[in-house]
Amino acid sequence: MRAAVYEGPRTVTVKDVPDAKIEHPCDIIVKITSTNICGSDLHMYEGRTSFETGRTLGHENLGQVVEVGPGISKVKVGEYVVLPFNIACGFCKQCEKGLTNYCLTMQPEPALAGAAYGFAEMGPYQGGQAELLRVPYGDFNALRLGEDAAERQVDYVMLADIFPTGYHATEMADVKPGDQTIVYGAGPVGLMAAYSALLKGAGRVWVADQQPDRLRVAEEIGAIPIDTRRENPAEVVKEATLGLGADNGCECVGYQAHDPEGKEDAALTLNGLIDAVRFTGSLGVVGVFLPEDPGGAKAQDELEGQGKVPFDYGLMWFKGQRMGTGQAPVKRYNRALRDLVAGGKAEPSFLVSHELDLDEAPTAYEKFDARENGWTKVVLHPNGHSA
Ligand code: NAD
Ligand code: ZN
């Protein structure tokens, strides 16, 4: 089968690899029809993680079941399914609590938790930017889709990661109807966080970024854009709220946060949030931070190279704020969000800028990584475009 393989910093090649196959009675094999490139893939693409060369990328996957193991009883061949990026067993202590983002079974590394397809430090699993994907514990992990699946897969594939992740940011931030919410980052995750806050009935949602094309998309869904090249988001928000700040906020950028000139500072958005959100407000941090940054320019820096981020904890404590962090537990939300899509109440495909063949993955990575104007979100179709 064909697959998009990581071959070193900023090098992705589409080539032949061995077919995905059933390795365990509870596996299913999915013919991938839609698979996204994610901001998380870019950390790996840029060589900023321990991701091994030769591995297939892709953790935002949707497709049609083509084979099921003998232990599978629910999922049927021919059905369309969307796969949470988290791979979970369903029976460990964490999964029992709904924490599929920190499953203990699927992470083979002792004392670590959490697994994903084609992801650094999250197990040995291959990614879905390929013609076929092996899905462990298919009955538990696959979310089945209705009859409109093939036609609306560009909406449904957002359930694999960014829609539930954006929603999770608003859950950790405790966004409620009428709230005033600030979102840092207008990438796909930030846009989904803003969209989720608006779906929940937030009164005002600001989105801060330095990319005008992405800010335009934020504005189109009813958020208030803040261009960080010209304005300080915390000042804008405080001025609009009698100096108090937003009720809550979402961090959707991560450790590669940078100023408009491109200078990286992993504390930038955390400090911005702490400043912009009022006393006792909650902060939902879904942007990725890592315990080490081997490929970063600051790798030699004692602090940042080791994932230590000095941020305004004193001010955060003084303001009595709370912060939620980590990978999103996609399964907690994907069924409800699927039904919002099916019911015509949500259309997360609004942020898709490009639908491409798998062979175009190298160019897509290059353009998305450069945050080139207009490249908001890329969906790859490894088995041809749908109708
Ligand atoms: P992206 O890289 O496309 O978007 C990030 C955006 O942040 C860009 O538009 C960039 O211009 C902007 N930005 C950079 N510095 C900024 C600053 N100082 N202030 C405001 N905006 C700034 O990525 P994405 O796909 O939207 O993902 C965002 C983050 O979420 C990444 O770190 C990704 O790894 C992470 N993520 C986490 C989860 C999870 O489960 N927690 C899931 C998916 C993605
Ligand atoms: Zn992702």
CATH number of domain containing 106: 3.90.180.10
- pLDDT, the chain, mean: 96
For ligand 1, atom 23, the nearest C-alpha belongs to: 39
Ligand minimally distant from the alpha carbon of residue 85: 2
Do 133 and 273 belong together in one domain?
Answer: no
- Residues 309-335: tens digit of each pLDDT: 999 999 999 999 999 999 999 999 999
- pLDDT-derived band of residue 387, with 50, 70 and 90 as boundaries? very low
With the most atoms of ligand 1 within 8 angstroms of its CB, the residue from 42, 59, 189, 274 to mutate is 189
| Last residue within a domain, chosen from 325, 341, 366 | 325
- Residues 123-168: tens digit of each pLDDT: 999 999 999 999 999 999 999 999 999 999 999 999 999 999 999 9
Do 40 and 147 belong together in one domain?
Answer: yes
Ligand 1 shell residues, CB under 6 Å: 38-40, 42-43, 161-162, 165, 184-190, 208-211, 214, 228, 252-254, 257-258, 268-269, 286-288, 327-328, 371
pLDDT at 299: 55
- pLDDT-derived band of residue 297, with 50, 70 and 90 as boundaries? low
Domain annotation covers residue 386 = no
Handedness of CA 379, 384, 386, 387 (dihedral sign): positive
Number of structural domains in the chain? 2
Do 315 and 350 belong together in one domain?
Answer: no
Do 148 and 258 belong together in one domain?
Answer: no
For ligand 2, the distance from its centroid to the CA atom of residue 242, given in whole angstroms, is 37
Structural domain span for residue 176: 162-325
Better-predicted residue by pLDDT, 224 or 290: 224
Ligand minimally distant from the alpha carbon of residue 214: 1
Supply the pTM of this predicted model: 0.97
For ligand 1, the distance from its centroid to the CA atom of residue 327, given in whole angstroms, is 13
Helix ranges (DSSP H) in 105-173: 138-141, 153-156, 162-172
For ligand 1, atom 34, the nearest C-alpha belongs to: 40
For ligand 2, the distance from its centroid to the CA atom of residue 44, given in whole angstroms, is 12
- Residues 356-386: tens digit of each pLDDT: 999 999 999 999 999 999 999 999 999 987 5
Do 315 and 169 belong together in one domain?
Answer: yes
For ligand 1, atom 9, the nearest C-alpha belongs to: 187
φ, ψ of residue 269 in degrees (nearest 5): -80, -30
Do 175 and 264 belong together in one domain?
Answer: yes
Q: How far apart are CA 37 and CA 368, in angstroms?
A: 8
Do 28 and 44 belong together in one domain?
Answer: yes
- Residues 191-228: tens digit of each pLDDT: 999 999 999 999 999 999 999 999 999 999 999 999 99
Neighbouring C-beta atoms of residue 307, cutoff 10 Å: 14
Contacts of 357 (CB under 8 A, 6+ apart): 380, 381, 382, 384, 385
Cβ 104 vs Cβ 94: under 8 Å: yes
With the most atoms of ligand 1 within 8 angstroms of its CB, the residue from 253, 265, 311 to mutate is 253
Do 342 and 319 belong together in one domain?
Answer: no
Do 189 and 84 belong together in one domain?
Answer: no
Do 271 and 320 belong together in one domain?
Answer: yes
- pLDDT-derived band of residue 230, with 50, 70 and 90 as boundaries? very high
For ligand 1, atom 27, the nearest C-alpha belongs to: 39
For ligand 1, atom 25, the nearest C-alpha belongs to: 39
Domain annotation covers residue 53 = yes
Burial of residue 360 (number of CB atoms within 10 Å: 0-12, 13-18, 19+): middle
CATH number of the domain within which 262 lies:
3.40.50.720
For ligand 2, the distance from its centroid to the CA atom of residue 40, given in whole angstroms, is 5
For ligand 1, the distance from its centroid to the CA atom of residue 43, given in whole angstroms, is 10
For ligand 2, the distance from its centroid to the CA atom of residue 119, given in whole angstroms, is 9
Q: What percent of the chain has pLDDT over 70?
A: 97
Q: How many CA atoms lie within 13 A of 341 on its CB side?
A: 27
> Is it the case that residue 302 has pLDDT exceeding 90?
no
Report which of 117, 135, 101 is spatially closest to residue 55, judged by C-alpha positions. Answer: 117
Atom of ligand 1 nearest to the CA of 190: 26
Atom of ligand 1 nearest to the CA of 192: 26
Do 171 and 290 belong together in one domain?
Answer: yes
Domain annotation covers residue 15 = yes
Q: What percent of the chain has pLDDT over 90?
A: 92
What number is the average pLDDT over the span 221-240? Answer: 98
- Residues 32-42: tens digit of each pLDDT: 999 999 999 99
Instruction: Give Rg (Cα) of the chain.
Output: 20
> Is it the case that residue 11 has pLDDT exceeding 50?
yes
For ligand 1, atom 39, the nearest C-alpha belongs to: 327
pLDDT at 254: 96
For ligand 1, the distance from its centroid to the CA atom of residue 135, given in whole angstroms, is 26
